[in-house]
Every structure is written in structure tokens, then in C-alpha cells.
Amino acid sequence: MKAVTIEQGDTGVTVREVPDPVVGPEDVLVRTLRVGIDGTDHEVIGGSHGGYPAGETYQILGHEAIGVVEDPNGSDLQQGQLVVPTVRRPPPDGGTNAYFDRGEPDMAPDGSYVERGIVGAHGFMSEYVATPAEFLVPVPDSFAEYGFLIEPISNIEKAIEHALATRSAFEWTPESAFVLGNGPLGLLAVAVLTQDAPMYDQFERGYCLGRRDRPDPTIEIIERLGATYVDSRETPVSAFKAAHEPADLIVEATGYAAHPFEAITALAPNGVAALLGIPDDWTIDLDAGRLHRELVLENKALVGSVNSNIPQFERARDSLTRMPEWFLDELVTGVFEPAAAPEAFADDTDAIKTVIEFDTV
Ligand code: NDP
Ligand code: ZN
């Protein structure tokens, strides 16, 4: 079957034939429809994140997928059902794994999981994928085009859930949310937080940080979602509070290492910042005493968050249902066939989110 891979020693993707997946007794065979590309894929290609499956000279890329059940293989799923796979799997050496057993693979420490398309396992950028039914989330037929966004949205759902959980010991009435970053993850976070939904309608005012000149499609999206664009070159995160208002919730999606610390100052008393960015090593100067004091005296919290579990995928499915069609059309700037994968991965400043389409329903 056709697959998009990174070969050991290469710096760009390859489109090649690979063996069809081996369908184990527990596995469902899925025909791939679309697989999204994100910054993590670029880090895997660049070698700064992830790693090859044991004994392989190549890795099939991709972890944001939507597919259709080709062979349910005795599971409860029906042939033709649309599904989204989760990313983490137990390591191949087996043994018991309490994190997976209790449905919390997203909380497993490094070394006690592999990630499909990222670390130690092949990804989903191939015509077919085999995986156990327990790692497949059924989605409606209408999700063939944009269902691959459920994986990144689920990362945001988890971050928000963990942030809200840190504020659950007292009566917290947040009104303002500030998303740092106007990449795909940041824009999806703005779309989630500006939704009219029980968990989110508490956020009456939304802001999103970028560092781009107008006109820019991401700024247009931010404003059309009803949020305010904040340019970090004019209003750094540390000056946000004075320029706008203290933020009750901050979702960091820049990977800019100073932002978590600047966010402490941008937060309102009792506020919380959820951190999603994954920077390389990066040394900064900061007044640790002032930030430490502010965290304590104003009951603020910083919480890091990675990956997501099945309930968070399900919540992401609901969030995606509520997202306006125009937003999804503007966010996904390129749909490429597998042969054009190198183009889909190219650095293009006008692109927001690109996707490889293997098949349609
Ligand atoms: P991108 O790199 O595409 O987006 C980051 C955005 O932040 C860019 O648009 C960039 O602007 C903007 N930005 C960076 N620094 C600044 C700054 N100083 N001021 C204003 N804007 C800034 O990444 P993604 O959206 O795909 O992901 C965001 C982060 O989340 C990444 O670090 C990624 O690795 C991480 N991630 C984490 C996950 C998790 O589970 N924790 C899951 C997926 C991703 P510009 O484009 O103009 O440079
Ligand atoms: Zn990702």
C-alpha cells in the first residue's frame, strides 16, 4: 500500500510502497480517508521529537486521522463506520500497563507508551491502518472531511479540562480567555472557547496572541470567531493585563518558552494557564521571586498538558460538531493527494493546516 514516510537519514518525506498492515486478532482494519499535518510531524521529520519503530529504517508519519472501518474483525464496529484513532499504544514489549488499563494513556510517563506516527510506532499516513477497536472513536458520517481535526481538538479539550479541574475547589466564575498562538492549535482553541456550549459559554470574552501584520488570514479567523487579536510585538503577554484585562484562563499554544512565565502576570487572581507548547531547550532571564510570589499570593495555577484520552476525543467530536463550516474551510488551507505529500509538508507562510487525502468515503 501507499504510505508517506520519513526514512532514516533523510530530511524530507518519501512517498513509497510499504507492506499492508498485519491485522492481529484484536485489530480492526481501517481504510484511511484523511491525515492532517502538524508541527509535531515536522519535529519528527527533523529528528527533534519522536523515534522510529524498533528495527525499522523508516517510519510512517501521521497521527491526526479519519478513516472508515473496512473489516470490523469481530469487534462491535460496523463496516463503513467512520472512526478516528487515538495516538498512544502500550509499548510492544507488553506487560501490564496501569495507565492503559484505566483509560488514561495520556497520563503515562515517557517510556510506558509508544505514539503512532511520533515515537516508536508507525503512523496513519497510509492507505490502511490496523488497530484495536478500543483505540477507535466512532464519528458521524458527516465528519469525513474534517474529522481528522478531532485529535488536535482533543489535546485542547484535555488542557482545558485539567485547567478547570485546578479551579474546582472554590467558586470560580471565569469570563475571559486568552489563547497564546495563532497556529492551528491556537485557532482551534479559540474556536473551542468561543463556542456556545455548557462548558465554555462562561467565557464571554476571548483574545488570541500572534505576531503578524494585517491582512492575515489567521487574524481574520480570530476576529470572525468574535475574539480580539493581540500582537505580541506591541502588547507582549506581560503587558496584556494593562492593555486589555486580566485573563481568567490562558491556553498557551506558541511553544515560546517565556510565555508560561509572562502568563502568570497576565492572569487574573485565581486564574489558571494551561500549557501546550513544546519548545526546545531555551534559557531566559526572569524575576523568579516575583513570579513565585504572584502565583502564591494570587492563587494562580500553571498546568502542563499533553495528548488526550477517549472521553476527551468524544468531547472534541462534540466541539467539532459546533464549529462553523466557514471556520473549518478557512483553517484547512490545502488538501493534497499522497503523491503530493512533499508539497503538503513544505513551509508555506500562507498555509494554516494541510491534510493528505488517501480516499473519500
Ligand atoms: P505552530 O508552530 O504552527 O503555531 C505556533 C503559533 O504561535 C505560530 O502561529 C506563531 O506565529 C505563534 N507564536 C510563536 N511565538 C510567538 C510570540 N512570541 N508571539 C506571538 N505569537 C507567537 O504550532 P501548533 O499550532 O501546531 O502547536 C502549538 C504548540 O503546541 C507547538 O509547540 C506544538 O509542538 C505544541 N503541541 C502540543 C500538543 C500537546 O498535546 N501538548 C499537541 C500538539 C501540538 P508565526 O506563525 O507568525 O511565527
Ligand atoms: Zn499533533
Q: Are residues 208 and 125 in the same domain?
A: no
- pLDDT at 94 (0 to 100): 73
Q: What ipTM was reported for this prediction?
A: 0.99
Pick the closest to residue 59 from 22, 93, 24, 9 (CA basis). Answer: 9
Q: Are residues 135 and 207 in the same domain?
A: no
**Are 252 and 273 in contact, with CB atoms under 8 Å apart?**
yes
Q: Are residues 296 and 353 in the same domain?
A: no
Q: Are residues 16 and 76 in the same domain?
A: yes
**24: in domain:** yes
SS3 351: coil
Would you say 296 is a known binding-site residue?
A: no
Q: Are residues 192 and 131 in the same domain?
A: no
In ligand 1, the atom with minimum distance to the C-alpha of 186 is 25
**Domain that residue 78 falls in:** 2-144+324-357
Q: Are residues 165 and 139 in the same domain?
A: no
Would you say 314 is a known binding-site residue?
A: no
Please write down the long-range contacts of 222-229, taking CB distance under 8 Å and 24 or more positions apart.
Answer: 222/182, 222/187, 222/190, 224/326, 224/327, 225/190, 225/191, 225/194, 225/327, 226/194, 227/179, 227/190, 227/194, 229/182
Terminal Cα-to-Cα distance of the chain (whole angstroms) = 18
Report residue 133 as a C-alpha cell.
477497536
**42: in domain:** yes
- pLDDT at 128 (0 to 100): 98
Q: Are residues 15 and 58 in the same domain?
A: yes
- Please state whether beta strands 64-71 and 82-85 pair in parallel, antiparallel, or not at all (unpaired): antiparallel
Hey, which bits of the chain come out as E strands? 2-7, 13-17, 27-36, 58-60, 64-71, 82-85, 88-89, 114-116, 120-121, 128-132, 136-139, 176-180, 205-210, 228-231, 247-252, 267-275, 301-304, 332-336, 353-357
Q: Are residues 258 and 190 in the same domain?
A: yes
DSSP annotation of 236 reads -
Q: Are residues 60 and 82 in the same domain?
A: yes
**318: in domain:** no
* Domain total in the chain: 2
> CA dihedral in degrees (311, 313, 317, 322; nearest 10)?
80
Residues with CB under 6 A from ligand 1: 38-40, 155, 181-186, 209-212, 232, 253-256, 276-278, 305-307
Report residue 194 as a C-alpha cell.
468561543
Q: Are residues 25 and 95 in the same domain?
A: yes
pLDDT tens over the chain, length 361 residues: 999 999 999 999 999 999 999 999 999 999 999 999 999 999 999 988 889 999 999 999 999 999 999 999 999 999 999 999 999 999 988 778 999 999 999 999 999 999 999 999 999 999 999 999 999 999 999 999 999 999 999 999 999 999 999 999 999 999 999 999 999 999 999 999 998 877 777 899 999 999 999 999 999 999 999 999 999 999 999 999 999 999 999 999 999 999 999 999 999 999 999 999 999 999 999 999 999 999 999 999 999 999 999 999 999 999 999 999 999 999 999 999 999 999 999 988 889 999 999 999 9
CATH number at residue 274: 3.40.50.720
Amino acid identity for residue 71 in this structure: D
- pLDDT at 338 (0 to 100): 98
